Amino acid sequence: MRLWGGRFNEDQSDLMKQFNASFMFDQRLYAGDIQGSLVYAEALHLIGLITSGERDSIQKGLKKIEAEFDAGQFEAKASDEDIHTAVERRLSELIGEIAGKLHTGRSRNDQVAVDLRLYVMQEIGPDIIIAVDISSPYADPEAIDSFLGVTDQVLRIMTRNNTDREILHIGPQDILITPELEDMSAADFAGAGEAVRIGEESTRQSIPVLRHLSVSESEYAEYLEVFEKDLSRIFGLGEFDKVGYLVENGALGSTIRIKPYGKSWGPNYIRFGMTLFDDFQGNSNYSLSINHTRTQLNRLGAEWRNDFKLGINKGISSEFYQPLDYAGRYFIAPEYRYDETFSFEFFGDISGKYQIKIAQFRLGAGMQFGRFGQIMAGVAGANARIKPIIGPNNLPEFKIRDGWLYTTFLWDQIDNTNFPKRGESLEMVYVSTKDFMDSDWIYDLLRIGVLKPVSTDSNTVWFSTGRLEEFRIQLWEMPFIWVVHWKWVMVGTIIMM
């Protein structure tokens, strides 16, 4: 059933019908649509456009349709373009041609406006209602002598009847403001300014009653700050396309339920990378890397990250990140990694190429500082085998056992980890080996790293420091060695067109 297109010579195409249909979305407006039609039928009867019998038939049919929706038994048809046509089609099936009179002097725009207002009120479910009665009294029937007079009376009847119905729902905790508008109606456009003045005066007279519902500006600002932080923290997890919220009402009052909308991709993420190196002196190598990250492994948001490297440098690592609370503030992060690389070493006039294999395990625990960074401490151990593969037969082979305690601090305000344009980051790592950990190496190490992108127009230069290391090493019979190293390195230029 359609409420438009009467001048078309041919029916719509099936594609247009599918494109234009909205019943699957707006069927939730059925209660407001039926309630508005009940009131409108009463208005049509009061001005004599339908008889009392026709009014009763229409209202009885509408209530039956409402019962079908409530029970989930309403049977929609392909011809139901929207909720309005569905209700009118079903009403025609129940009471016949009389149903068509309900659309007299009424556009679908009117129905949409009424339905949406009623739906919003029903869904909000407010604890306290602040209502303003702007309805007008009925005009004297003897004074109605024109089409505009009839229209004005219909508007008065609709607003008055609807207002009376709504006032019945006003409870002792609610507030009703009734401006003295006298004979003004919705059609009195010339008197709109005066109506506003009268409404403002009536509202100001209710200030003593309204004041107890308000909070101070500082309390409201504090509430907004906490709420916005919660939304930002959840969105900052990077697991959701957007984050919204709903107001829900229950036996204990109204609550806000934060509603995240998951991404259409994930939770498995795979990245590939390649590194090429050439010193223009005959030495070149390459390295391929694959990263797999699995997010949202449990309700606390655990992640499992695995890295694989092939080429001149080989390796595998696996880290499991497990938050310990729903806020994600505290976490543990066990990690295992294996690396295999090569190095040229010199012993006086003798040199050789060594293969270095290192297996290590870490167990850390830490705390997040909101969106700013984190601090983590833990224990780690490693076994290394350093074996000569090229050089004289008398080159030494080493097996090293290492164990250490570590603390890391990260402050990160970079806007994007892949293509940073603004912000900065600071990372500090302190490592200390202890005798009781049976380590072949005894040392203290401090490592500091800084990242700063600098952007101008569409170009971004990415600056990063090297490592600042201060440590002492006692390796076999070697003396203490102190090393301090500091450098700035431009590691990349990002062109953003």
Give CA torsion, residues 326, 328, 331, 334, to 10 deg: 100
**176-200 tens-digit pLDDT:** 888 887 767 666 677 788 888 888 8
Residue 9: the pLDDT is 67
In the predicted model, what is the mean pLDDT of residues 451-470?
Answer: 66
Dihedrals phi, psi of 108, to nearest 5 degrees: -70, -30
- Residue 88 buriedness (CB in 10 A; 0-12 / 13-18 / 19+): buried
**Residue 490 CA to its chain's centroid (Å):** 35
Asked whether residue 5 carries a pLDDT value surpassing 70, the answer given is no
pLDDT digits (tens, 9 = 90+) for 351-371: 778 889 999 999 999 998 877
> What digits encode the pLDDT tens for the residues 39-84?
888 888 888 889 999 999 999 999 999 999 888 888 888 778 888 8
User: pLDDT averaged over the chain?
Assistant: 79
pLDDT digits (tens, 9 = 90+) for 384-393: 998 888 888 7
Angle between helices 30-46 and 108-124 (to 10 degrees): 130
CA–CA distance, 183 with 134 (Å, rounded to integer): 11
Q: What is the bridge-based pairing of β-strands 240-250 and 268-278?
A: unpaired
Q: How far is CA 343 from CA 354, 440, 445, 485, in A?
A: 5, 20, 22, 20
Which amino acid is it at 402? D
Pairing of strands 130-132, 175-177: parallel
Report domain extents, the chain: 14-205, 217-262, 268-495
CA 245 – CA 243 distance, rounded (Å): 7
C-beta of residue 480 within 8 angstroms of C-beta of residue 472: yes
- Which of 243-252, 324-333, 482-491 shows the lowest mean pLDDT across its residues? 482-491
Rounded average pLDDT over 216-231: 86
Least confident range from 32-36, 309-313, 376-380, 435-439: namely: 435-439
Check whether 492 has a pLDDT greater than 50: no
Distances (CA, A) of 122 to 70, 116, 155, 248, 256: 15, 10, 23, 11, 16
- Domain at 268-495: CATH code: 2.40.160.50
Mean pLDDT value across residues 393-398: 81
pLDDT for position 250 = 66
Query: For 159-168, which contacts have Cβ atoms below 8 Å and span 24 or more sequence positions?
Result: 159/134, 159/135, 159/186, 160/135, 160/136, 161/39, 161/42, 161/43, 162/36, 162/39, 162/135, 163/133, 163/135, 165/39, 166/131, 167/131, 167/133
At residue 240 the predicted structure's pLDDT band, cuts being 50, 70 and 90, is: confident
User: Given this model, what pLDDT does residue 115 score?
Assistant: 81
pLDDT higher than threshold 50 for residue 164? yes
Residue 357: its pLDDT value, please? 93
Superfamily of domain 14-205: Fumarase/aspartase (N-terminal domain) (1.10.275.10)
